[in-house]
Chains A and B, each alone.
Chain A
């Protein structure tokens, strides 16, 4: 029996843009044999092929499943609007790329949730597969719809549509789910309800239909199990040893250009820098490094197999990897690579040491360097716990320009707790100062200042904080624009405040927000990550129809005792720890990175059967994130970076909000996916780490 839809798909391709999105054929793709005894998974990334293909989490699960005897996996991505229209009018459902089989013929549809604004695409894809979008309307043998990835840590807005969520690393649990399903597939088929009950018994699996969301008036008072064998609290899964999972071994090499089109090797998972706004860091703790020798081997074998001329050593902050200098120099000095392979470190830490590594790896293509100080003032960075001292910041920028870079890009967030106008203006001052430093070395420099609105995320210390309103964000950006008018070499980029608000609706929404997502989808609002399709009006109309408001779901500060929609789900972090860390943030107290300093008991290593795997017992040269550094002088700017006219202001300055010299700074570390904004460039960090589907 052949289920291939190809003969019906091919005639559509002449009518659509980028037809190669729909043909598969990547190096490393499998064409698995569908047969009894194998659970068929369709792994779906709910955005375009170019954005979704490089996702390493999805690729890891693809390999794991295809290597099992009892499972197989194929892939699908969201067809662009022209293709979707053509498919719907030709009556062609969502199909797999490999064997062009209808999605509904699979046993499991598994979504990767990397960004909130893709949720309307998730609904659209379930619908395009020919299934009912609401899970309770899917009957008997309809495929199981599951989801994982970072956003699954607040799954409530999708609770009515998804049958089961996987929290945390997916490497082990996909096999366990396959076994449960196989039980059903092979012997006596049980009912859908029994199947869900069986899935809920797996660690790390959350089945929302088995929980009831209770309200008191309009306030959520709890999400509680409806059955006794269903756990009150679902803990995330975390693999103990990344070295046991040297994946992907067969990274997919697409026929067309995609984002992050290069070999990716994950050097560690998790991050304990403790940046308080960063969900990726908080939910992936603890740090689990890959053995350096395995990194070498994966790079060597990967380059030889793929023919790529670029390798990225990925993690949330790769300069923190214990073997980083070794890993970098072994690629660069490998005669096989003969100077034609470049290495990239996404999310550079901000200090001169890191720039030194960058200089070593970018011997040839020295085009642009990107840093994420996130906060414009040292005070702000203390609040965020992004401990980049003025000294580190300016040394990094200075050495970047000194070593030949002419384009430096800086990422910032605005709308953070305790932020004042002075903090916002600090961004402008910092940018001007960095450009000035650049002009000491080059006639022309470009200093791109990219600013995004902060969206508070679940399972972070800032989860209680009320997001800035659209108007307030606009006012702040206007202020920055004025302050940067005429600044030579500085350009300001800004992610739309409206998309930031929409992201906020979903980020901390409860089950009632599901109706909003459905409303936006039904009104045609797909591809909301793309500025050409984003429409805030759809979201506000959806809120109104659901009896909700931006004020309540997005802008409101949460109370300490208030039930949060994800309280029944755990990333291992104690709620008390998060609250205390939030309080400390408000007092500008900082926390060092616990991988090199004593534990402060956030709950992860004590509560989960995992702990840090870090080869080096000491922080990198020069210190990092408070360890091995003198934080008390964090706000002090070394005098030689100060322009003559400002020099008097810097003298004797020590950290502190009143200190005028503290109004300049820059930093690095993980670029958190705090705002997707509208993806006007079509390019967004797709987080190379994480094994969630």
Chain B
């Protein structure tokens, strides 16, 4: 069976990479002695599949992972067993079974919600830049790929952008819905487009759009356990 878990990555641990997080999960699952299925062949690996990579340095309350198990177990039990064994700042927010016949997380997710803090900015300043961006027909950025400089248009992936409440010190929060097609956009790229200083970026949601409506990859209400929100600093 496949158990899908939603997890958060908050605090100091955000400085680890996507790959590091995968290794943390492998070790935690082994420590929990859960009947994880392994691949065959010369170097057996636990059958885990992670969704979209979270850039190093970003936080998230909406990461997903599918674990293949060799036995039938209650998803909530899996979450309960593994959660205390994860490093501080990584916490399970929900568990369930993906709908039968659904594809991999990577294929299915169509957009992500982000909250990005923009230090030393006011809401009105930011609003102005955002509306300029949303009004543009195309937003090319130059990238090097396989030794060639290519131009990517990010405009199609900017689905929604708005500025939120201002804190005196922290600046403004930019809320963004960024599509994954034709290509995903990272918060750092958005900051480059906006020509703003990038503060803490947190992924808050992943959406699967199908037939005109949006679903989350896991149909459970995210109850946020204390372990996940505890800041590691």
Which A residues form the contact surface with B (CB < 8 A)?
6-7, 10, 13-14, 19-20, 22-25, 27, 253, 255-257, 304-309, 336, 339-340, 364-367
In this complex, how many residues of chain B approach chain A with their Cβ under 8 Å: the count is 29
Q: Which of B23, B198, B232 contacts A25 (CB 8 A)?
A: B232
Supply 5 A–B pairs (Cβ within 8 Å), ascending by A: A23-B12, A257-B23, A306-B31, A364-B43, A365-B43
Given A304-B31, A307-B30, A340-B38, do A13 and B57 touch, yes or no (CB 8 Å)? yes
Closest-CB distance, B9 to chain A (whole angstroms): 11
Docked-complex contact A23 and B23, CB < 8 angstroms? no
| Residues on B with beta carbons closer than 8 Å to the beta carbon of A306 | 27, 31
Given A19-B56, A25-B232, A364-B43, do A255 and B16 touch, yes or no (CB 8 Å)? yes
Would you call the interface of chain A mostly helix, strand, loop, or mixed? loop
B135 at the interface (CB under 8 A from A): no
Closest-CB distance, A184 to chain B (whole angstroms): 34
Q: Which of A14, A307, A367 contacts B57 (CB 8 A)?
A: A14
Which one of A23, A305, A307 has the greatest number of beta carbons of chain B within 10 Å? A307
Q: Please, how many angstroms separate the alpha-carbon atoms of A24 and B233 in the complex? A: 11
Encode contact with A along B207-233: 1 for CB under 8 Å, 0 otherwise.
Answer: 000000000000000000000000011
Which one of B12, B28, B38 has the greatest number of beta carbons of chain A within 10 Å? B12
B87 at the interface (CB under 8 A from A): yes
Docked-complex contact A308 and B57, CB < 8 angstroms? no
Q: Which of A14, A255, A304, A366 contacts B20 (CB 8 A)?
A: A255
B198: nearest chain-A partner, CB-CB = A14
Docked-complex contact A255 and B13, CB < 8 angstroms? yes
B170 at the interface (CB under 8 A from A): no
Given A13-B57, A256-B20, A306-B27, do A25 and B12 touch, yes or no (CB 8 Å)? yes
| Residues on A with beta carbons closer than 8 Å to the beta carbon of B38 | 340
| Residues on B with beta carbons closer than 8 Å to the beta carbon of A14 | 57, 198
Docked-complex contact A307 and B26, CB < 8 angstroms? yes
Q: Which of A256, A308, A367 contacts B16 (CB 8 A)?
A: A256
Pair count A-B, CB < 8 A: 67
B30: nearest chain-A partner, CB-CB = A307
Closest-CB distance, B15 to chain A (whole angstroms): 4
Docked-complex contact B16 and A307, CB < 8 angstroms? no
Docked-complex contact A309 and B30, CB < 8 angstroms? yes
B166 at the interface (CB under 8 A from A): no
A7: nearest chain-B partner, CB-CB = B233
Q: Which of B13, B19, B85 contacts A23 (CB 8 A)?
A: B13
Given A307-B27, A308-B27, A340-B38, do A255 and B44 touch, yes or no (CB 8 Å)? no
Known contacts A20-B17, A364-B44, then 14 further A-B pairs from the complex at CB < 8 Å, ordered by chain A residue:
A13-B15, A20-B16, A20-B20, A23-B15, A24-B12, A25-B232, A27-B87, A253-B27, A256-B16, A307-B28, A307-B31, A307-B85, A336-B33, A366-B42
Closest-CB distance, B39 to chain A (whole angstroms): 11
| A-facing residues in B88-128 (Cβ within 8 Å) | 88-89
Given A305-B31, A307-B28, do A256 and B13 touch, yes or no (CB 8 Å)? no
Q: Please, how many angstroms separate the alpha-carbon atoms of A151 and B29 in the complex? A: 40
Q: Please, how many angstroms separate the alpha-carbon atoms of A364 and B85 in the complex? A: 28
| A-facing residues in B180-227 (Cβ within 8 Å) | 198
Q: Please, how many angstroms separate the alpha-carbon atoms of A253 and B27 in the complex? A: 10
Closest-CB distance, B182 to chain A (whole angstroms): 27
Docked-complex contact A365 and B24, CB < 8 angstroms? no
Q: Please, how many angstroms separate the alpha-carbon atoms of A256 and B26 in the complex? A: 13
Closest-CB distance, A337 to chain B (whole angstroms): 10
| Residues on B with beta carbons closer than 8 Å to the beta carbon of A13 | 15, 57
Q: Please, how many angstroms separate the alpha-carbon atoms of A366 and B12 in the complex? A: 37
Q: Please, how many angstroms separate the alpha-carbon atoms of A309 and B17 in the complex? A: 20
Q: Please, how many angstroms separate the alpha-carbon atoms of A305 and B31 in the complex? A: 7
Closest-CB distance, B186 to chain A (whole angstroms): 13
Q: Which of B15, B31, B85, B88 contacts A20 (CB 8 A)?
A: B15
Docked-complex contact A255 and B24, CB < 8 angstroms? yes
